[in-house]
Structure 1
């Protein structure tokens, strides 16, 4: 409940932040006026059309996209950590982000017409291609081994990052800024239509994870124990891999590479409510949404009028906090003893 209330507060404050002057009260009225019919302040002239457009058309979509992206990355991180039984795992371990980067950079450098895809479409295609490649590399004898999955993801991610770097240094100078903004993450150009795909992916994967929360708990204590409890470990790992890849690809395609959300937020959730996925997953999703919405608000304000990529903010906050967790010894309570 606290996370829900805080998230709503960030949405309203974000709506009041920008070059067009809008107070917090006016931001609340505009959001409420669009959600609830026949609100008197929407027609009495107290709110200008410029204020309405600034909040509803530009600021609210980017804030909601940041929330969806944060929730998706945090959920994917929690599932990846269960998948490979490694608390240091994160969504980008599969090389999905690197694959999305190659797809997006290819469109930026070659042009959308050459690839026949939009930037988001190319990024999603690259992410899925990387996920399929990792799955095929990690599969041996019909079994997806966690160690092979990690090694395959790291190796393929490095290769794809090298391809992205080559495309970046060989392109024209005016393309470099767009490439860096995508690779470091941004939701500045968010529109209402962009929310549909990542929101649907988040809803589907969250429903699947909650329905299989007992299997996730069993997987954490070892393959033999999970098998004894009736879990088809290999099949379940394959399902988790597909879910993580689809969710991460859908998020990265519209927000770019945003790090540390899927690594830090699941740890904080375990500290707060324990390792039981029935309680941990909802807190992880809400915490990820709240964190990335706040990070986006900071990215817009700390260096105003210049906007910095959101990935810089998450790294600046997430990395020191993660190191603090390890130094304080609280990481063991978050599952790092594994």
Structure 2
């Protein structure tokens, strides 16, 4: 395929600038040029002359850079999943939370908070782990309810997702009411935003995000064919049901991981694919990778503001 290099390079430039300013801005402002030189020293053969205070190393490499990387990965995951879902369901209003991932993650997180598990179960990672398990369990239930024999009707999948997601949201509200002391914390998590520090969350999330995003990046051609309808796609030789299953699983894994570590962040997975489609067309071979870059940039800018 002829990949549109100009949009790709433009998005890459914007992402680079967003990364630099995300690391630069904080209680202690570090000039973006200094940040760029600090990051360059991590490359082989570019150790160079270090003319910045030693405290900058701690601020950049231990505090701000891990947070920035996690935010960028979250935005990329949500936008890429949103673009894939819009192609799968042939619906521009589809977003990563359409089949209940956010509701399931919220239920898992609130359940852990209401039971005071963070103090005696997995410590730092209790909330992300329970949120991830809640999201994956919700998707599994939706998938089981929607599947009919060897077929996975998209309409049934959406209806099952709405039903199970609504039930999970109701349970979330119930547990929040039962545990008044954790209501503020639960609401803060449900509103989204990463408060985790250090590289451990990045290392924990990265394998799942890379696996899911990698699969989505290879699904562009299949999603293009699906736009003609299931019957036409079958006649063109596309294994429709297998493609649906792969895309649903990959997008759900990616979204569940993003939500587990950053909470429920809205609109990125809906708006970014729309903007990319308006600017550079509906070809999913281009739309998904450009949405991934755009999602990372958009969420970094939102985090700065």
| TM-score, normalization by structure 1 | 0.82
Residue from 186, 190, 197 that aligns with 1:183: 190
Change (3 A) 1:198 1:269: farther
Residue aligning to 1:139: 147
Matches within 5 A, 1:159-170: 159-170=167-178
Matches of 1:281 and 1:141 in 2, distance apart? 30
Matches of 1:55 and 1:264 in 2, distance apart? 30
- State the Cα deviation string for residues 14-40 of structure 1 (Å, max 9, x = none): 222111242222222222223455634
Contact kept in structure 2, 1:64 and 1:293, CA below 8 Å: no
Matches of 2:134 and 2:195 in 1, distance apart? 22
SS in 1 for 2:237: coil
Residue from 201, 204, 208 that aligns with 2:208: 201
Q: Does 1:56 align with 2:49?
A: no
SS in 1 for 2:97: helix
- 1:113 CA drift (Å): 6.0
Q: Does 1:261 align with 2:268?
A: yes
List 4+ stretches of structure 1 deviating above 6 A.
none
- 1:159 CA drift (Å): 1.0
Change (3 A) 1:132 1:233: same
Structure number with greater CO (CA < 8 Å, separation at least 6) is 2
- State the Cα deviation string for residues 83-117 of structure 1 (Å, max 9, x = none): 22211111101111111111111111212268844
- State the Cα deviation string for residues 97-148 of structure 1 (Å, max 9, x = none): 1111111111112122688441111111001000001001111233211111
Residue from 87, 95, 99 that aligns with 2:100: 95
Matches of 1:198 and 1:264 in 2, distance apart? 24
Matches of 2:238 and 2:249 in 1, distance apart? 17
Change (3 A) 1:125 1:294: same
Matches of 1:32 and 1:260 in 2, distance apart? 33
Residue from 234, 248, 259 that aligns with 1:227: 234
Residue aligning to 1:69: 74
Contact kept in structure 1, 2:216 and 2:251, CA below 8 Å: no
Q: Aligned residues, how many?
A: 294
- 1:282 CA drift (Å): 1.3
Structure 2 unaligned spans of 5+: 1-8
Residue from 45, 49, 52 that aligns with 1:47: 52
SS in 2 for 1:94: coil
- State the Cα deviation string for residues 36-78 of structure 1 (Å, max 9, x = none): 5563433xxx322322211111111111111110110011111
Contact kept in structure 1, 2:220 and 2:286, CA below 8 Å: no
Contact kept in structure 2, 1:65 and 1:190, CA below 8 Å: no
Matches of 1:60 and 1:131 in 2, distance apart? 32
Residue aligning to 1:29: 37
SS in 1 for 2:49: helix
Matches of 1:113 and 1:56 in 2, distance apart? 27
Structure 1 unaligned spans of 5+: 299-338
Contact kept in structure 2, 1:94 and 1:153, CA below 8 Å: yes
Q: CA RMSD in A?
A: 1.8
Moved more, 23-32 or 246-255: 23-32
Matches of 2:75 and 2:159 in 1, distance apart? 26
Matches of 2:58 and 2:118 in 1, distance apart? 31
Residue aligning to 1:123: 131
Matches of 1:88 and 1:68 in 2, distance apart? 22
SS in 1 for 2:194: coil
